[in-house]
Copies of this chain bind each other. A is one copy, B any other.
Amino acid sequence: MGDVKEVYLDYQSSKPVDPRVIDGMLPYFHERFGNASALHHVGDVATEALDESRRAIADYINADHDEIVFTSGATEANNLALIGYAMKSKRKGNHIIISEVEHISIRNIAKYLERQGFEISRVPVDKYGRVNLRKLERRIRDDTILISVQFANNEIGTIQPVAEIGTLAEERGIAFHSDAVAAEGLVSFDVKRDKIHLMSLSSNDLYGPRGLGVLYMKKRYRVNPILIGGGQERGLRSGTEDIASIIGMKLAIDIMKKEMSTEVKRFEGYRKKLIDTVLAEIPDSYLNGHPTERLASNAHFRFDGVEGEALLLSFKDKGISVSTGSACTSKTLEPSHTLIATGLIHEEAHGSLQLTPGRFNEDEDIDRVLEVLPDVLARIRKMSPIYNPKTR
């Protein structure tokens, strides 16, 4: 790369751990490493750390500490929420509702549950990617046991009407699960306010370590375990607890509590600059997702006559990491199911660019992308057999 600074604008896909979190984790790798199931001093230290973290996480989302289950990540939390709840509740009914724009882990879990005999309804979204409440309500049946709708979309950043969905679910006696990963650090969480009964969180999305997640489980909303073993986490999630990471998530939350409001304002500035400049200066460019109900760190565009992959590789050559959609599926190069669900055709969906700044970006990173983008686009469009300028 020579002397050019690498620019990373793909925070929605993966985040570096905050150095302050790493510092705080260090003692738990070596000096304070015990097994929380052991009865001696070293084990006590681990038990205290576990308890301390559980309380901090509960406080962050306005839950109780005994409603927090540690998992190996958001994927496992989603598995425990959907498969665990479905299996536990199958005598009550076998119908589950998800949205058409869920993260791939929820989508694939839903397919798995269909093979196990559950019926899944997928509720459509509007052109901004928002779940339509009336359409959701119309899909509710007497045998509906669970509604799973993300807090915000991990691609286009659209924030879902979770409080309204929670109210609806509670009125109808249905459990409401929300995969809140994409919204972490960007919106305030309050499971009581929003009437969320099950919620998945990831540590990494708060700038904590990877390989750790949490399932919030409201009292009386029970799930069957997915991983069987030594009976840790009250039998719901077996396996020796990863204390260093668990403390890491707590420290990440401590930082978030203090800094989120300032940080979100900074991201809103980046977002405004990205969106305003791109739409003003790039011909035939459009914003994907909702104009206002969107995550502060999300700018998502589509460009006529451009292949997302070509865009991504051109940026890569210039030392800029961006995304064309969900990182979890981007290697497949399939068009984004989210964009298709908002009504785009395949060609339109393929010409998308996702820019998600984060904690360690500086103003100059945003400037650099905006400086590079017009040339990159012009070059790609020049070689494109399908680009017909509409504007100009």
Q: Chain A interface (Cβ within 8 Å of chain B)? A: 1, 6, 8, 10, 13-19, 22, 26, 29-31, 33-35, 37-43, 46, 72-76, 78-79, 83, 104-105, 108-109, 112, 204, 209-212, 226-231, 238-245, 309, 312-313, 315-316, 319-324, 327-331
Contacts and interface: CB of A to CB of B under 8 A. Distances in A.
Contact of A241 (B210, B228, B244): B210
A97 to B, nearest CB: 18
A72 B8 CA distance: 27
Contacts of A42: 6, 8, 10, 14, 321
A316 B40 contact: yes
B105 A238 contact: yes
Nearest to A1: B41
B16 A35 contact: no
Nearest to A40: B321
A268 B309 CA distance: 58
Nearest to A83: B228
B228 A112 contact: yes
Q: How many copies does the complex hold?
A: 2
A29 B78 CA distance: 24
Contact of A331 (B8, B10, B39): B39
Contact of A323 (B38, B76, B241, B244): B38
Contacts of A31: 16
A269 B218 CA distance: 52
A17 B209 CA distance: 16
Given A72-B211, A79-B227, A230-B328, A238 B40 contact: no
Given A72-B76, A228-B83, A229-B79, A240 B14 contact: yes
Contacts of A209: 29, 242, 244
A118 B366 CA distance: 58
Nearest to A323: B38
Given A38-B327, A239-B73, A22 B16 contact: no
Contact of A34 (B14, B40, B74, B83): B14
A210 to B, nearest CB: 4
B316 A41 contact: yes
A356 to B, nearest CB: 12
Nearest to A315: B40
Given A17-B33, A104-B230, A209-B244, 9 more contacts: A13-B34, A16-B29, A43-B321, A73-B240, A74-B239, A75-B228, A210-B245, A226-B227, A240-B328
Contacts of A211: 72, 211-212, 242, 245
**Which of A13, A17, A26, A245 has the most CB atoms of chain B within a 10 A radius of its CB?**
A13
A10 B37 CA distance: 12
Contacts of A83: 228
Nearest to A17: B29
Most B CB within 10 A of own CB, among A41, A108, A315: A41
